[in-house]
Amino acid sequence: MMDNKEMIIAGLQGIVTGLSQQADGHVIQSKIFAGLGFTKLADKYAEHATEERGYVDQCIDRILDLGGEVKNEAKEAAPTYKDPIEWVKYDLEVSKTGLAGLAKLIEAAVKDPVTFEILVAYYKDEEEDLHWGEQQLELIEMIGKQNWLIRQL
């Protein structure tokens, strides 16, 4: 079927590990933002965590379909933020880094249509997140921090 099955399984495992961490982080940030009264941001990141868990599930299923062993690996600590703007900046950098690695995995999975389809859908979702973050930072520049923060209540 494919020459680089082990590489694809390893890449999918990397997504399972990293994205489950990100989903947890987004749940935590959602709670922090809710506690600060930033309801729109809280809802956005709670929903985002649910989407991410869906991709984690798909990657786990695919690893198993490919005959791989799914691991519950240790995850690196990630920061949390009370300042929503600092969080958007941080999350944007995570998206940029993640998309670069994901593009390489998509290229490796081109001969595996099922994995390829899962990864492309995930890539599109992450790219939307990246554009949202860029858009928010541009909006902050144009309308100012306080006006942007008011819009997040």
What confidence tens digit (pLDDT) does each residue in 67-114 have?
Answer: 999 999 999 899 999 999 999 999 999 999 999 999 999 999 999 999
pLDDT tops 70 at residue 2: no
Q: Please report which residue ranges of the chain form alpha helices under DSSP H.
A: 5-36, 39-65, 84-108, 113-143, 145-151
Report the chain's mean pLDDT, rounded to a whole number: 96
